Structure 1
Amino acid sequence: MINKFSSLLFIIFLISCQNKPDKKKESTIKDKDGNVSEYAVDFTPLTTVYKKKTADDLEIFFNEKFNTKDFSGSFLVAKNGEILYENYSGYAYKEKDIKITAETPIHLASVSKVITAVTVLKLVDEGKLKLDDFVTTILPEFPHKETTVRMLLNHRSGLRNYAYFTDDKGVWDKKKPLTNQDVLRLLATKDIGLESKPGSRFGYCNTNYALLALIIEKVTKKTYTQVLQEKIFDPLGMKHTFVFDNLENKEKVSQSYKNNYLRLAFEFLDQVYGDKNIYSTPRDLLQFDLALYSEKFLSKKMKAEMFKGYSYERKGTKNYGLGIRMLEFETGQKYFFHNGWWHGNTASYVTLQKDSVTLIAISNKFSRKPYQTKRLAPRFGDYPFEFNDEEGE
């Protein structure tokens, strides 16, 4: 009888321990030197049972939707700063037999815009510029006087995409790499024109973020790369994250492939940064995402500006904040994310702010699979989705 009673107590004790928060959890955000970052935020630790059950579910999801035999890239899901599941497969450089690991930086494509936007917002917090400053007050050669910094951030500038207007006859010699400064000079000296009146409607455009990178450089008197290193990468311990700003280094980075592993060549547009050209890992992006919960990293005011919609000229759930896409449901729930697609690189960054959940998928071999990360959102909160297997960037 005593033995049975003792066994029962042990089982109750074991179950109790499994359902208690993990007190051994350390602060998630550490700086480049391994010290606790000033931007570290305390979340409620998850229970062992929750982590095990969720990890099992996520593994099933990954095997069904991604399949490591076909997927080349990185995948991570975290809640409250704790990684629940991650997977790394494929090749960073197949011809050299370099495989993708947790420490392999992959091109983020347009997910880079989120980091560019946050850098601008941090400069606003520091008083180095204002959201409603006219671009001409910072970049005097810019030809459109009505355009503001905010319009660049929320894609309401009406500008044409540099990837398209450089196709116009006589605008650019495609044998030469295009730079951010070239984009500005072309706008100033060529008859590029506008897609729409500044501030009148939403028009997603890479030119906006190429110019924002120049604005960052102008107001700080430093390179875009230096500023991101000092304000984002080093304080958050993003050791495997960098800006690609020199085509001479193209052999040193993860490559881009078609879905049959045919390697894609770099081209004249591949040196422009701000809108793209940040390479990172899911673990580093998790550090960045967690910092967004800290008002020391980004003020409450700037965060409110970032995570609100600006384009309501058309009815629907889709909207765009300052460097972040969103879906605004009739229930009041909001889903925040940014996708990316550049050459064979596709990426998805999802930040479920209300639920403190981070979903990240990055691929360097063309695949729409990273965009399917949103299928996991209902697993963590009330997101009334209708799913589409063919959804794009």
Structure 2
Amino acid sequence: MKMSFLKKTKIAQILLLILVLSSCGKDKKTSTDTTSTIEDTLPKMKPLGPEKRLTQAYLNSVTGRINHFYNKNWPNNTMNGGFLVARNGQIIFERYNGYANKNEETKITADTPLHIASVSKVLTATAVLKLVNANKLDLDQKVNTILKTFPYPDCTVRMLLSHRSGMRNYAYFTDRDKSVWDRHDQLTNKDILNILATKDIGLESKTGTRFSYCNTNYAMLALIIEKITGLTYKEAMTQMIFKPLGMTNTFVFDNEKDRKKIVPSYKGNGVEIGFDYLDCVYGDKNIYSTPRDLLKFDRARNAPDFLKPALLKEVYTGYSNERKGEKNYGLGIRMINWDSGQNFYFHNGWWHGNTSSYIPLMKEHVTIIALSNKMTRNTYAVRKLAPIFGDYPFNFKDEE
């Protein structure tokens, strides 16, 4: 018996549907496999192994002095944020106080992610350095070989890391001239690159001739991370740093997903500070984290296989000393270099009402971290704790 035309048509439709579904499955599998392959080839941070435990006698000898500093710096628990001191990865002292959200009366705890402002630069630099360490990028590679429209031909990756590009700060050249940028629109990293490429934004100084701290450098480094990894900055940082180190309360701010969930920041008088058109730019800022997560990150930077020795040495080499002085900048880290040979490494941050301080006393295996979402300069005073642990000429006696 001959098959009816209607029946033939129905069978053909079923076969076509099976073929389409099979093809979609393959495409999905291919996409998943590709993402998995990218993640598998990424250089990732590794946690530092077990460190020597501190004795109770040692803990007793330092906690009283830290507590005295804390009570003087933030009397009556006036801190609005988190504060942590650790040695060998072991927490010696920590405090969390104030409101995560004043309107909702939610308190800041050890698990509350706060905006770490320019301390984000240390994490961005770390991702770039891991890519250099894995030979996926070269420190002295010209930026325009990676970001094709980047308009300054002499600028290298090293110059971005050390703030020697000579570029102007994007917050300034997008602020006043509507022909450059309309502040009613959110600015992104790609927008900054496009403005540099098309709006004839002049350099502040000739490339490579002097140090000038500039957020534009790190916005470009974030784009370089994306170009080299094939992932968004947020995903690359998650796969390379946050996830391998178990930094479960750390993330890159996503304006669409996180705007209503993140901890707001406040002026010193407690008035909430709203968002503005610069809040979508990342790399120079826009990472949220906790003191405990940053401690995990800090200890991983002390792991034996963090970077090859020659590259690690370049990280802590000064790149900003045209004139002899103590203040200097390495590759993603600030430093003070004294004539005595003693070196102090740190990075501070400020964005809106958020302030941050990250201090690794590397010789002493000490980590000091302070984060606040209410505007205060007291966050930066934590450097005065350094003399407790080593020969650092800060005046801790002022706090006694």
Using structure 1 for the length normalisation, give the TM-score.
0.87
- Once the two structures are TM-superposed, the CA of residue 386 in structure 1 deviates from its matched residue by 5.2
- Aligned structure 1 segments of 4 or more residues deviating by more than 4 angstroms: 386-389
Partner residue in 2 for 1:131: 139
The answer to whether the aligner puts 1:205 opposite 2:230 as a matched pair is no
Partner residue in 1 for 2:54: 46
Partner residue in 1 for 2:89: 81
Equivalent position SS for 1:96: coil
Equivalent position SS for 1:301: helix
- Once the two structures are TM-superposed, the CA of residue 58 in structure 1 deviates from its matched residue by 1.1
Q: In structure 1, how many angstroms separate the alpha carbons of the residues matched to 2:62 and 2:204? A: 46
The answer to whether the aligner puts 1:310 opposite 2:319 as a matched pair is yes
**1:239-278 Cα distance to aligned partner (Å, 9 max, x none):** 0000003255222001010011100010000010000000
Which amino acid letter does the alignment assign opposite residue 312 of structure 2?
Answer: K
Partner residue in 1 for 2:107: 99
Partner residue in 1 for 2:387: 378
Partner residue in 2 for 1:245: 254
User: Map of 1:1-393 to 2, 5 A cutoff?
Assistant: 38-169=46-177, 170-247=179-256, 249-385=258-394
Q: Structure 2, unaligned stretches of length 5 or more?
A: 1-44
Question: Quick check: 1:324–1:336 contact (8 Å CA) kept in 2?
Answer: yes
Q: In structure 1, how many angstroms separate the alpha carbons of the residues matched to 2:97 and 2:220? A: 35
Question: Quick check: 1:68–1:89 contact (8 Å CA) kept in 2?
Answer: no
Q: In structure 2, how many angstroms separate the alpha carbons of the residues matched to 1:105 and 1:68? A: 23
Which amino acid letter does the alignment assign opposite residue 138 of structure 2?
Answer: K
Q: In structure 1, how many angstroms separate the alpha carbons of the residues matched to 2:290 and 2:309? A: 27
Larger radius of gyration: 2
Which amino acid letter does the alignment assign opposite residue 208 of structure 1?
Answer: N
Question: Quick check: 1:335–1:352 contact (8 Å CA) kept in 2?
Answer: yes
Equivalent position SS for 1:64: helix
Q: What's the Cα RMSD here?
A: 1.5
Q: Identity over the aligned pairs, expressed in percent? A: 56
Equivalent position SS for 1:338: strand
Which amino acid letter does the alignment assign opposite residue 350 of structure 2?
Answer: W
- Once the two structures are TM-superposed, the CA of residue 340 in structure 1 deviates from its matched residue by 0.2
Equivalent position SS for 1:95: coil
Using structure 2 for the length normalisation, give the TM-score.
0.86
Q: In structure 2, how many angstroms separate the alpha carbons of the residues matched to 1:379 and 1:249? A: 39
Partner residue in 2 for 1:7: none
Q: In structure 1, how many angstroms separate the alpha carbons of the residues matched to 2:160 and 2:46? A: 30
Question: Quick check: 2:300–2:306 contact (8 Å CA) kept in 1?
Answer: yes
